Amino acid sequence: MSTILPAVKKRADYQQPDFSINHVDLEFTLLETNTKVVCVSQVTRNGQHNNALVLDGEGISLNSIQIDGVAISSYQLTETTLTIDIDNGCNEFELRIENTLNPKENSSLEGLYLSAGAYCTQCEAEGFRKITYFLDRPDVLAKYDVTIIADKEAFPYLLSNGNKIDYGDLPGGKHWVKWSDPFYKPCYLFALVAGDFDLLKDTFVTQSGRTIALELFVDKGMIGRGQHALDSLKNAMRWDETEFALEYDLDIYMIVAVDFFNMGAMENKGLNVFNSKFVLADAETATDEDYFNIEAVIGHEYFHNWTGNRVTCRDWFQLSLKEGLTVFRDQQFSADMSSSIVNRIQNVRIIRERQFAEDASAMSHPIRPDEVIEMNNFYTVTVYDKGSEVIRMLFTLLGKSGFLAGIKLYFERFDGQAVTCDDFVQAMQDANNKDLSQFRRWYGQSGTPQVVVKDAYDPNTKTYRIDFEQSHSATFDQKEKQNLVIPIQFSLLNDKREALKLNNANDVQTTIELKDTTQSLEFKDVNSKPIPSLLHGFTAPVRLNYEYSQQQLENVMLGSPDEFARWDAAQMLFSDCIHNLGAKTAQQQEASIKETVAMFEPVFQATDITLALKAEMLTLPSFETLFQQKNRVDIDVLNQSRKRLFAALAQTFQKDWLALYSAFEMKAYAYEPIQVEQRKMRNLALKYLTLSGHSDTKTLLNEQFSKADNMTDTLGVLNAAQLGDLSLFEKLMLEFEQKWQADPLVLDKWFALHANTDRTDILSRITMLMGHSQFTISNPNRVRALIGTFSFFNVAGFHNIDGSGYKFVADYLIKLNEVNPQVAARIITPLIQWQKVDETRQQLMQHQLMRIGDTQGLSKDLFEKITKSLP
Ligand code: B3K
Ligand code: ZN
């Protein structure tokens, strides 16, 4: 492990900045290896002090400093700071800094870098300091004027935030453009893009009648794949007006799609930069899931304009202020645009597969972290997705109108400011006159709460009592825990699967606000012992336990008034069966599988279950979900048990799968709800058919592969073929590669399919693919598709008991550490989650973590995760 330890920053240490900057004039002269930046800041001293001005700066070269036009030569420069003494009494001044940087060598994709020949920036969280010396913190808000100078032919488009106010030509084939952003913003929202693109244009008329210019920039030749993104943007703009009464503020909204990007997208004011994966789509190259994700991410970044940009974070510990709230908003948007139940199930899968895993690991942290070494490590499922669940609980507790009243007050109070999570909750509290002091603990407490539900029925008094108990285990980061406010929505079913009326208003569902360790409710005049249908809609991000019998689960699955609870009961039937299989004799195993499978027969026949929900109910819980349900897991047994149940469902219902496979009339591809659910069911049926070994399978697979007019059905074939005869799979994969070899985004799907194939020679296969002409370590999409997919999803390969999977990933991360630390720190996640596996594997995983830890020049990103996770 390296000897210089990176510093830990603490939330409790927050102090207001000594200086503020309220106006910035930036001038960029773009050159690949030697870009010049001139930054003129109007600086004000805050309060009375004699402290020096300490600016952040990293990986850039300083040329000169002037204060009010006078050159300064006494300053201190370190690897990460520039300290300038300011004369006493000099309370307002103009600071001019000139520096240079090398975008071409910037493989971290943070700051200013080149993506396939185009310049672009990524400043959140702390990337602006890689562009110029600055107060790189979100509570310094300034107005920006930006001039960009570059070669005109190679870079016809020069873009930045706000409005284009002037432009002109220069000698030597150069040109310049000046942008001005009238809104105050933190520097993490600054953006610059320069390149040659295809441009798709449109307009949007706001509810108040203003016309907004919409501009979508994509790689040359990709214009035909931009329409869905643009339509999604217009849908998002309309939705935010109708649902949240929020209107766009600038006169232009630009989105640029780039190929080299560390995450999904970035909400820079008026100039979003997107990973092209979340922009480009047409039927042939994108799946239904891609279409869905594009709409969601476009919505997410657009919604940030209010929740994040107009009101931003005081410091990075408050990240969930903007991310949790914006994820909640994009989830609501997606629910309104497509199937709300499928959408909710998808949200919950992320929580159970990945957020619960984070809680159980050494990276466990509250949605508002207390300590951070590398901020980029905290763009997590906890801050984002659990953050959104916390907002959703407020929505449940306050009701829609109370919630919206809180949002209104939040903007009235804080528009144009950098604030905290506490400020947000206070606005919710004040607008609703509801004490949220205990609720606030959700922001500071990490871990997955456990709720145990017990009940009792007294036939003499016809009284039913239901008891709820909350408990909280210590996590790696926090020993002491407190009780939280946990809203749990539920119903009671009688033995005819009818939901009982629970109060005088005849409601069939009710919500308990669990605040104490235990709370009980009593229901009178109940004729027989009811079955509770619990945690409707997943009203809280908790693990809930009730000792259901299989029979009871079947009743909830078939009769609950809540679609989510029905799906959840189906999942519990599957997971109980899978977890219990290992300890049984062969005969018992067979009986148990048979019994579970039989329970699903009515699902096929049911007429009150939508096709979309049916497909979800008939999908087994993922390995990752099952893994999170237990404290200790035998990986091989779990994997085998899941496969056995999978095969049994395939064989038992072979006829039904065949019927479902051909039940729908095939129309020309359109991304619309009915077609989406039909394709989902059809491809699920194809998977089961393949697994069942049906004699027609090969024909069906070949036929669908050759006839498909869309990527969803093409991938449906490959996903199914992967489960059956590997030689057919290989043949189809080869055809696919030949067809798409020039299209890296499509090829990513192919890399990913290879990476999660269950085969004994998987490591040599991946090694071979790393030599593919389209694979490069410098592009995060490629690395995530191949190496990320292997480490996150190839259970048998990654967890091979000989340790080869762990070593392979570690070797790769050691290389990636030098190229792109942020992406390396994402992919290390499965390796640091060793807590639930057996001792042998724990040792092997820790050994690899130590090897990575010994790397020369280990990044802060990996350092933080490794030091936290080694015992
Ligand atoms: N705010 C960005 C994420 C930035 C990540 C920096 N490592 C995208 C988003 O959440 O909308
Ligand atoms: Zn976001």
Average pLDDT over residues 770-780: 98
- Report d(CA 129, CA 467) in Å as an integer: 54
Q: Cα(121) to centroid of ligand 1, in Å? A: 13
Q: Which of 544, 559, 574 is the last residue of a domain?
A: 559
Q: What amino acid is encoded at 473 in this protein?
A: S
Nearest CA to ligand 1 atom 3: 266
Contacts with 841 (C-beta within 8 Å, 6 or more apart), sequence order: 635, 799, 801, 803, 834
Is residue 208 one of the residues assigned to a domain? yes
The pLDDT, as a whole number, for residue 2 is 46
Which atom of ligand 1 is the closest one to the Cα of 267?
Answer: 11
CATH of the domain at 863: 1.25.50.10
Task: Identify the domain containing residue 306 by its residue range.
Answer: 197-294+301-310
Tell whether omega for the bond before 125 is within 30 degrees of 0, i.e. cis.
Answer: yes
Nearest CA to ligand 1 atom 4: 124
User: Which residues line the pocket of ligand 1, CB cutoff 6 A?
Assistant: 124-125, 263, 265-267, 300-301, 304, 323, 376, 379
pLDDT in tens, 132-150: 999 999 999 999 999 999 9
pLDDT in tens, 302-312: 999 999 999 99
User: How far, rounded to the nearest angstrom, does the alpha carbon of residue 482 sit from its chain's CA centroid?
Assistant: 28
The pLDDT, as a whole number, for residue 504 is 87
Which atom of ligand 1 is the closest one to the Cα of 264?
Answer: 8
Average pLDDT over residues 593-622: 97
Q: Cα(322) to centroid of ligand 2, in Å? A: 7
pLDDT in tens, 780-813: 999 999 999 999 999 999 999 999 999 999 999 9
Q: Distances in Å between the alpha carbon of 697 and those of 650, 691, 692, 708, 712?
A: 12, 9, 9, 16, 18
Average pLDDT over residues 176-204: 99
The pLDDT, as a whole number, for residue 699 is 97
R_g of the chain, CA atoms, integer Å: 28
Q: Which ligand is nearest to the CA of 268?
A: 1
Instruction: Single out the catalytic residue among 98, 267, 301, 616.
Output: 301
Nearest CA to ligand 1 atom 1: 266
- Report d(CA 1, CA 857) in Å as an integer: 10
Is residue 474 one of the residues assigned to a domain? yes
Percentage, residues of the chain above pLDDT 70: 100
Q: Which ligand is nearest to the CA of 266?
A: 1
pTM assigned to the model: 0.98
Q: Which residue has the tokens 């080299």?
A: 260
Contacts with 499 (C-beta within 8 Å, 6 or more apart), sequence order: 491, 492, 493, 508, 509, 533, 559, 560, 561
Helix/strand/coil for 446: coil
Q: Cα(858) to centroid of ligand 1, in Å? A: 23
Nearest CA to ligand 1 atom 9: 266
- Report d(CA 166, CA 615) in Å as an integer: 55
pLDDT in tens, 374-386: 999 999 999 999 9
Average pLDDT over residues 487-516: 96
Is residue 842 one of the residues assigned to a domain? yes
Contacts with 493 (C-beta within 8 Å, 6 or more apart), sequence order: 499, 500, 530, 531, 532, 533, 555, 556, 559, 560
Q: Cα(303) to centroid of ligand 2, in Å? A: 9
pLDDT in tens, 69-84: 999 999 999 999 999 9
Q: Which of 310, 335, 357 is the last residue of a domain?
A: 310
Q: Cα(325) to centroid of ligand 2, in Å? A: 9
pLDDT in tens, 625-640: 999 999 999 999 999 9
The pLDDT confidence band at residue 871, using thresholds 50, 70 and 90, is confident
Which atom of ligand 1 is the closest one to the Cα of 262?
Answer: 7
pLDDT in tens, 325-376: 999 999 999 999 999 999 999 999 999 999 999 999 999 999 999 999 999 9
The pLDDT, as a whole number, for residue 4 is 66
Helix/strand/coil for 541: coil
**Does the structure show a pLDDT above 60 at 859?**
yes
Is residue 61 one of the residues assigned to a domain? no
Is residue 125 one of the residues assigned to a domain? no
Q: Is 124 a catalytic residue?
A: no
Is residue 422 one of the residues assigned to a domain? no
Instruction: Specify the number of domains making up the chain.
Output: 3
Contacts with 199 (C-beta within 8 Å, 6 or more apart), sequence order: 157, 215, 216, 217, 223
Q: Cα(730) to centroid of ligand 1, in Å? A: 37
pLDDT in tens, 378-433: 999 999 999 999 999 999 999 999 999 999 999 999 999 999 999 999 999 999 99
Mean pLDDT across the chain = 98
- Report d(CA 452, CA 432) in Å as an integer: 30
Q: Which ligand is nearest to the CA of 328?
A: 2
Is residue 718 one of the residues assigned to a domain? no
The pLDDT confidence band at residue 3, using thresholds 50, 70 and 90, is low
User: Percentage helix, strand, coil, to 5, in the chain?
Assistant: 45, 20, 35
- Top mutation candidate among 113, 124, 302, 321 for ligand 1, by most atoms within 8 Å of CB: 124
Is residue 720 one of the residues assigned to a domain? no
What value, to the nearest 5°, has the Cα angle with vertex 197 and ends 196 and 199? 140
Q: Which of 283, 310, 337 is the last residue of a domain?
A: 310
Average pLDDT over residues 676-681: 98
Average pLDDT over residues 88-104: 97
Beta strands in 501-583 (DSSP E): 510-514, 518-523, 531-534, 543-545
**Does the structure show a pLDDT above 90 at 725?**
no
Which atom of ligand 1 is the closest one to the Cα of 308?
Answer: 1
